[in-house]
Amino acid sequence: MHEYAFFLGCIAPNRYPGCEASAIKTSEKVGIKLLPLKGASCCPAPGAFGSIDLNVWYAMAARNLVLAEEMKKDITLICNGCYKSIWEVNHILKHNDELRDNVNEVLAEIDMQFKGSIDVWHLAELYYDEKICGVQKIKDSVTTPLTGAKIAPHYGCHLMKPQKERHFGDTENPMWFEELIAALGCEPVQYRNKMQCCGAGGGVRGYDIVHALDITNEKLINVREVGADAITEVCPFCQLQFDRGQIEIKEKFGDVYNIPVLHYNELLGLAQGMSPQDLALDLHAIDCTPFLQKVL
């Protein structure tokens, strides 16, 4: 069993608890144990905090990292936004002495010190990693294949970009997420401009909702064009933007899509036999029932 400190973030536990519940249960079936990271806070939001003062962003993310350092466990998480804060600040502070000293000066006020002794992983990347889990192991864990469903993958931005600072390779047309989706028995579909942003990041959702939704709308048009039954992603903030965003798009632009949006963990949970009730799919703004009827 590989053990990790599970960094929850905000939107997964506080808006889509099914993402949290399914992460804990699905990972256990493939040999990954998620331990609670007690006292963790918001990552903090890279768009909001990073835009105001990067130094506070470094220090706040470092506090979360130190909590896991004290547990002597690597962190895993299920949100691209959290990945940007937690992974990137860990990376920066490990390699930039000046910034690390500044952060440690502040952390000393609360009797903490950033040591740089752990690594940070997205759970999806652990699922794909042959050394930890791998696609075959995911495939073997499936009891209810989601046969017949066309799934549009949304990678999001902050997991893989900027490419040069990450380790995921190509960001123009990656295919690793498709492999994870196909392992569940469903069909990943390609659509126009797959790597485009959901529109929510950088504080834009709060600053100019119509602008953010217009970006989302473009993605939804492209997803509908290929007849996808659902969108899947690895970021609860993207999920919120696509899911609640469809309601807002209906109100503001009059466009109706009704495309269910599920986190990859929720999809994996369904494939491993969890019921829609176990995943709190009723909290999703877009009704998942037609999709569920198709696959279950």
Partner 1 sequence: MAAKSYNISELDNKLADRRYHLADSNPEFTQKILKTSRTIANMCYQCGTCTGSCPSAPRSSYRIRLFMRRCVLGLENESLTDPDLWLCTTCYSCTDRCPRDIAPTDVIMAMRNLAFKRDIIPKNFLQTVQLIYNSGHGVPNNDVNRAARTKLGLPADPPTTHTYAEFIPGIQKIIDHYELKANADRILKGD
**Contacting partner 1 within 218-237 (CB under 8 A):** 218
- Phi, psi of 199, deg, nearest 5: 105, -10
Whether the Cβ atoms of residue 188 and residue 182 lie closer than 8 Å to each other: yes
Residue appearing with tokens 């990137």? 88
Q: Does 154 bind partner 1 (CB under 8 A)?
A: no
* Cα 94 to the center of its chain, rounded Å: 23
Contact between 248 and partner 1 (CB under 8 A)? no
Q: In angstroms, what is the minimal distance from the CB of 189 to partner 1?
A: 21
> Nearest approach, Cβ of 219 to partner 1 (angstroms)?
9
| Residue 94 touching partner 1 (CB under 8 A) | yes
Cβ count within 10 A of residue 136? 10
Can you tell me which of 4, 11, 76, 262 binds partner 1, judged by CB under 8 A?
Answer: 11
Residue 203 as a binder of partner 1 (CB under 8 A): the answer is: yes
Does position 253 interact with partner 1 (CB under 8 A)? The reply is no
Q: Does 71 bind partner 1 (CB under 8 A)?
A: no
Half-sphere exposure of 56 (CA within 13 A, CB side): 11
Taking alpha carbons only, the member of 240, 253, 244, 243 closest to residue 214 is: 253
Helix (H, G, I), strand (E, B) or coil at 21: helix
Residue 249 in contact with partner 1, rule: CB under 8 A: no
Q: Which is nearer to partner 1, 62 or 149 (CB)?
A: 62
Cα separation, 68 vs 6, in Å, equals 9
Contact flag: residue 275 with partner 1 (CB under 8 A)? no
Q: Which is nearer to partner 1, 32 or 40 (CB)?
A: 40
The reply to whether 182 sits near partner 1 by the rule CB under 8 A is no
Q: Do residues 31 and 76 make contact, with C-beta atoms less than 8 angstroms apart? A: no
Residue of the chain from 45, 75, 184, 230 that contacts partner 1 (CB under 8 A)? 45
Q: How far apart are the first and last CA of the chain?
A: 30
Is the CB of 98 or the CB of 130 nearer to partner 1? 98
Q: How far apart are CA 72 and CA 74, in angstroms?
A: 7
Nearer to partner 1, 187 or 218 (CB): 218
Options 4, 27, 50, 177; binder of partner 1; rule CB under 8 A = 50
How far is Cα 85 from Cα 83, in angstroms, rounded to an integer?
A: 5
Binding of residue 79 to partner 1 (CB under 8 A): no
Interacting stretch for partner 1, rule CB under 8 A, among 4-12, 135-143, 220-228, 284-292? 4-12
